[in-house]
Structure 1
């Protein structure tokens, strides 16, 4: 796409959410909207936006961070009473055909995690919220 040096091609270097968003646009995939969270502790304040994203038909949310280099994708948000909140986290490294959803859960590939333990409070995060209908997604997030 021209955003990296020639030595990047064929390397084993990782891309982040910003590059993933550029790839989605370049290759005609779903629309990707970037959201920067300066510290993981601030994610609690973004949960309503994430909830609106999923409730409005938004797709998976790719997550990248600095101190937290563990790849993850968010598939849902569950807001409980008070400050209780959970995110449905998918480890994007899974490959193959699972026999059933229980196999994914038992292997730790997907599961509900409390927001306070799913994100490093001191790491920044970039979120790439995907949607096929970017205007509907924009309305839900504003």
Structure 2
């Protein structure tokens, strides 16, 4: 894509949410909308956005940070009574034949985590909210249709 220096191709260097969003666009994947959160404590203020994203049919949310180097993908949010809030976190490093949900949960690949402890309060975070139902994705199906 020309975004990184030539030595990056073929390397084992990591990419972040910004690059993932660029790749989605470049390769025609779902639209990725970026949301920057300056500190992990600010994620509490993004819960309504995440809830609306998921209830509106949005796809997984890629999460990357600076001080928190643990990659995450969010699959859901649960707003409990009072100030309790949880996110369904998928560890994107899992590979292999998918196991049943119980085994994945028992091994820690997927888990509900309280927002206040799932994110480093001193790390910034970039969220890439994917929308598989974006206009861009529907275009090939609607361009040739006759109404």
The alignment's TM-score, normalised by the length of structure 2, stands at: 0.90
Q: Is 1:66 equivalent to 2:63 in the alignment?
A: no
| 3-state DSSP of counterpart to 1:123 | coil
Name 1:140's counterpart in structure 2.
Answer: none
Name 2:13's counterpart in structure 1.
Answer: 13
Counterpart-to-counterpart distance in 2, 1:103 and 1:40: 29
Q: CA deviation digits over 1:4-25, x for unaligned, max 9?
A: 0000001110000000000000
Counterpart-to-counterpart distance in 2, 1:133 and 1:92: 22
| Higher alpha-carbon Rg | 2
Aligned-residue offset at 1:108: 0.4
| 3-state DSSP of counterpart to 1:88 | strand
Aligned-residue offset at 1:99: 3.0
Structure 1's unaligned 5+ residue stretches are 136-142
Counterpart-to-counterpart distance in 2, 1:101 and 1:81: 26
How many residue pairs get matched?
135
Counterpart-to-counterpart distance in 2, 1:6 and 1:81: 51
| 3-state DSSP of counterpart to 2:97 | coil
Name 1:36's counterpart in structure 2.
Answer: 36
Query: After the TM superposition, which segments of 4 or more aligned residues of structure 1 sit over 3 Å from their partners?
Result: none
Q: CA deviation digits over 1:90-142, x for unaligned, max 9?
A: 0000011133111100110001000011100110000000002336xxxxxxx
Name 2:100's counterpart in structure 1.
Answer: 100
Counterpart-to-counterpart distance in 2, 1:81 and 1:106: 26
RMSD: 0.9
The alignment's TM-score, normalised by the length of structure 1, stands at: 0.93
Structure 2's unaligned 5+ residue stretches are 136-147
| 3-state DSSP of counterpart to 1:87 | strand
Name 1:24's counterpart in structure 2.
Answer: 24
Q: CA deviation digits over 1:6-65, x for unaligned, max 9?
A: 000011100000000000000000000000000000100110000000000000000000
